[in-house]
Structure 1
Amino acid sequence: GRRITVHHLLSMTAGHPADSLAQAWEREPGDLAKGFLSLPFAHREGTRHVYDNSTTYILARMLEQVTGTGLAEYLDARLFGPMGIEHAEWDRVADGAVFGFHGLHLTTEAVAAFGELLRREGAWGDRQLVEPDWVQRATRQHAASQWTLEGADQKDFSYGYGYQFWMARQGYHGHGSYAQQCLVIPSHDLVVALTAQGEAQEALDAVWDCLLPGVGHTASARDDQALARRLRHLQLPMVAGSAGPRRSITATLDASLPHSALPDKTNVTVHPARGGWRVQFGSILQVEAGYRGWRESAPLGRPIVATGAWQGDTFTADLCLITTPHRVRLTLDAGTGTATATWSTPPLTGPSLQLHAQSPLMTRPDVA
């Protein structure tokens, strides 16, 4: 452990055989750094890249000790504020520290701006926010990489790893779960920002196969009109069906399905309301759902947009946590008096909808 340097942490070449996060937290829930260091190192430092979230957590804590301020506050002052990014929300553990390795919520535009800052080698307007030498070092290969994901070809993760960035077929990318991407292609003066719910490799393949071949080609006015027309009509699909009965219906939640968002036996009540419904999940939270439209509410501080409809005796609603790639599908069967609420993709920090809807965001109160 004494031989591990900042370089090894940044390049994720500390020597663990696999991501150490789960084991390190299990050993030391109150001190992840201690847990990380207490695990056996299978490889000599600097010799093998393994994607290891703990290394980034430790880097965040090191920065805080050196600067005397929290990571979130440091980046607001040094980076996001000067860039005009007014809202950067972080997921935090019990003592208020940000994870560092995940849980930063930004708009798509802010992700694109961050990529543009990198493309300009740290320059923003007339200010040099990050030293060019640092950007160059961070975005070049320091270790060979191989991404292993069962049943999937992840070739865009096999071009090497820099300092917290993956090298790509062209340029480099910052990679988040569920296809969150910030792809920078300096040779084409191009930044691609993706906030989505999907597979990263599929998204990157679309860039290489569909987007990049068209860069630099002049489109006709007809092409521009067709694209503008398509963009105007893009939307998330709404639940099909009718407005249903104009009375309140209550059911009991069955949490036996995988990725249930709420506790078993929670009472779920659908109340008719003007233009939609109020959906009450026991004493946990209440959200508004629109009929043939989306309705936004923030019952615990973070925004949820929802839409629903009745199909016979079944009420179905989609609840989208719009600052994340996640959504919950609610089904309520009035005939059987049962309901389910399941995540389309389970959040990394656990399935509790209540925790993910709260502000400030703190999805791991069991970790100090």
Structure 2
Amino acid sequence: MSARPLPSSDPAAQGVDAAGVHAFLDALEAAPDIEPHSLMILRHGRLVASGWWGPYTAERPHLLYSLSKSFTATAAAIAAGEGLLRFDDPVISYFPEFEADITDPRSRAMLVRHVASMASGHEAETLPRALATDRADMVRGFLLIPPERDPGTVFAYNQPTTYSLAAIVQRVTGQPLTRYLRPRLLDPLGIGKAAWLRDRAGRELGFSGLHAATDAVARLGQLYLQDGVWEGERLLPEGWVAEATRPHIGNGDGTAEGALSDWQQGYGFQFWNSRHGYRGDGAYGQFCLVLPEHDAVIATTAATERMQELLNLVWRHLLPAFGPEPLPQRQDADRALRERMAGLTLAPSPGKPAPPERARDWSGAGFTPYGGVCAAQPKLTGAAVASGDGGWTLRLTEDGHHLDVPVGQAGWAVTDEPLPIAVSGGWADADTLAVDIQFLETPHRLSVTCSLPEGTFSAKWHTTPLHNPPLRAMRAPRHSA
């Protein structure tokens, strides 16, 4: 099913000053450690600005990382509304096969609402310990780790809590999250393709791994802004939005610095409270910002470790752009903003075509990892350069699998097979090939440099993938709806 376009409007008609959006874009593009991929702004239910920095495009799914958690909570809400689960039930009650194994009283007292609010009683992340305890079933591994405190008394950002919530939903519905959500949320919202990573148990992860377009993020935010009602139909149980987005557990440290952190304003049911409104939040700048006081939603995808800085730029530039009333006609300003948003692009890496005088040396040249191992991808064991009728190709070998990428072309060379990637760069000089590979369904960019005299190559991630995937898996899964 293809997504229905969101209703759109000129910014001025919705009280949005185009100059503020320009100021945000200026600041975003000037920030050296923020690589923006997309931006959508909705005001009063109308899309007033949207753009994708090429080679990213509107229709491509993008790995949302922990913003996936907000979709998981939404699935749990719908299941609760259908009477399939209750937030005041013990977690262990949904896994009777573990009843004899789970003896710690705090683990047994843990309720669904505790795992939904990151308040399991554990004082720190348990993911590595849960996996080490039971690789085959993370729920069992998690429940076998005794909480240090009573459930509901302490916040700890903790992946297995969300995984357990997702596992409960998948158990009581008998379906993967994406299949369950398709007729109940995704189709009614007009969301197109969505795909979720699965673990070895076959469960969709819940805490991360959802790939969806920015449009899906914006629509989820607008649904929450509208109290769970879409086009006159209630999709979420009445009262859910208020319950999910209020702070269930404090997470501030009481310092002046903490008061300025958007990660210390309290936590709801898989939503963060922010200094302004609330948000779904994924690593490296995947945001669904819901601003009830401004009747606005802002959706972003990006690649940055400076997530607080990205939010600061939103608060500094976009919030003042939201006025209380429609602005006088500003057709020229609104048109200029539309044109800018339509022409956004990431600067390709510089590079020259293959040096003709060294073409014979480069064609067929092979390279081994600099220093004997590739720090970025330890299983990346070799690189080779070849020329043919279609131009030059860099072949990367990882764990016996090959990834061929086109090199030496001007701008971004985009291809969808075997992976959706865009490549830029080329020869820095006669002895050095340096290219950037953008994995277009993720936030991630890999820089590869080959030295002809040394016969070695190096690779470096600009932001490191969190799930340690092989290169061939740097795309949306193909199994989901």
Normalization by structure 2: what TM-score?
A: 0.69
Paired residues of 1:277 and 1:289 also in contact (CA < 8 A) = yes
Which has the larger displacement, 218-227 or 319-328? 218-227
Q: For 2:460, what is the secondary structure of its paired residue? A: strand
Q: Deviations over 1:295-329 (max 9, x none)?
A: 222344x4112122211121111111111111111
Stretches of 4+ moved more than 6 A in 1?
151-154
What is the distance in 2 between the residues matched to 1:190 and 1:59?
29
| Alignment match, 1:267 | 383
* Equivalent of 1:42 in 141, 145, 148: 148
C-alpha deviation, 1:121, in angstroms: 1.1
Residue matched to 2:337: 227
Q: Match of 1:280, as an amino acid?
A: R
1:133-156 C-alpha deviation (Å, 9 max, x unpaired): 1111101111111389xx999701
Q: Distance in 2 between matches of 1:357 and 1:133?
A: 36
| Residues 195, 477 of structure 2: 8 Å contact kept | no
Contact residue 440 and residue 475 of structure 2 kept, 8 A: no
8 Å Cα contact 1:107/1:323 also seen in 2: no
Instruction: Work out the CA distance in 1 between the residues paired with 2:370 and 2:171.
Output: 43
2:261 to 137, 148, 155: 155
Alpha-carbon displacement from aligned partner over 1:118-168 (angstroms, at most 9, x marks no partner): 1111112232111231111101111111389xx999701111111000011
Distance (Å, rounded) in 2 between the aligned partners of 1:101 and 1:218: 41
Q: 1:290 to 1:226 in 2, by over 3 A?
A: farther
- The AA in structure 1 aligned to 2:311 is L
* Distance in structure 2 (CA, Å) of the matches to 1:351 and 1:94: 14
Residue correspondence of structure 1 range 13-32 to structure 2 within 5 A: 13-32=119-138
Distance 1:258 1:113, change over 3 A: farther
Q: Distance in 1 between matches of 2:201 and 2:141?
A: 17
Which whole-Å CA distance do the structure 2 matches of 1:178 and 1:55 have between them? 21
The 1:174–1:105 alpha-carbon spacing in structure 2 relative to 1, beyond 3 Å, is: same
CA contact (8 A) 1:287 1:299 kept: no
Q: Does structure 1 residue 214 correspond to structure 2 residue 324?
A: no
Residue 238 of structure 1 corresponds to which residue in structure 2? 348
- The answer to which of 283-292 and 216-225 deviates more is 216-225
Structure with bigger RCO (C-alpha 8 Å, 6+ apart) = 2
Report the residue type matching 2:144 in the other structure: S
Q: Aligned letter for 1:252?
A: F
CA 1:340–1:351: 2 relative to 1, 3 Å: farther
Aligned residues: 358
2:7 maps to none
Deviation at 1:361, TM superposition (A): 7.9
Paired AA for residue 311 in structure 1: A
40 and 340 in structure 1: CA distance in 2 versus 1, 3 angstrom threshold:
same
* Letter aligned with residue 210 of structure 1: H
Over the matched positions of the two proteins, sequence identity in percent amounts to: 36
1:279 matched to 2:394:
yes
Q: Separation in 1 of the partners of 2:278 and 2:465?
A: 26
Are 1:349 and 2:458 counterparts?
Answer: no
> Over aligned residues, Cα RMSD in angstroms?
2.6
Equivalent residue letter for 1:240:
P
**What aligned pairs does 1:73-222 form with structure 2 within 5 A after superposition?**
73-146=179-252, 155-198=261-304, 199-216=306-323, 218=327, 220-222=330-332
* Closer, same or farther: CA 255–166 of 1 in aligned 2, 3 Å: farther
Letter in 1 for 2:150: R
For 1:269, give the aligned amino acid.
V
Partner of 2:49: none
Q: Separation in 1 of the partners of 2:263 and 2:201?
A: 34
Instruction: State the distance in 1 between where 2:321 and 2:364 align.
Output: 52
1:49 Cα deviation after fit: 1.1
User: Are 1:331 and 2:449 an aligned pair?
Assistant: yes
Aligned to 1:308: 425
Distance 2:126 2:309 in 1: 27
Shift of 1:336: 1.8
Match of 1:365 in 2: none
Distance 2:286 2:200 in 1: 25
Structure 1 position 271, deviation (Å): 2.9
Post-superposition offset of 1:90: 1.1
Measured after TM superposition, the shift of residue 116 of structure 1 is 0.7
Spell out, residue by residue over 1:41-70, the C-alpha distance to the aligned partner (whole angstroms, 9 max, x if none): 111111111111101100111111111111
Instruction: Output the CA distance in 1 between the equivalents of 2:315 and 2:119.
Output: 29
- The answer as to whether partners of 1:296 and 1:304 remain within 8 angstroms in 2 is yes
Partner-residue secondary structure (3-state), 1:244: coil
Point out the more displaced range, 322-331 or 121-130. Answer: 121-130
- Give the corresponding residue for 1:60: 166
User: How far apart, CA to CA, are the structure 2 residues paired with 1:152 and 1:253?
Assistant: 46
Q: Is the 8 A contact 1:306 1:319 kept in 2?
A: yes
Aligned to 1:288: 406
Displacement of 1:294 in angstroms is 1.9
The residue identity in structure 1 corresponding to 2:395 is Q
How far does residue 232 in structure 1 lie from its aligned partner after superposition? 4.2
Distance 1:25 1:316 in 2: 38
Instruction: Give the deviation of 1:225 after TM superposition.
Output: 4.5
Q: Is the Cα contact below 8 Å between 2:125 and 2:158 reproduced in 1? A: yes
User: For the residues of structure 1 that align with 2:228 and 2:339, how far apart are their CA atoms?
Assistant: 36
Q: CA deviation at 1:19?
A: 0.9
Q: Give the unaligned 5+ runs of structure 2.
A: 1-106
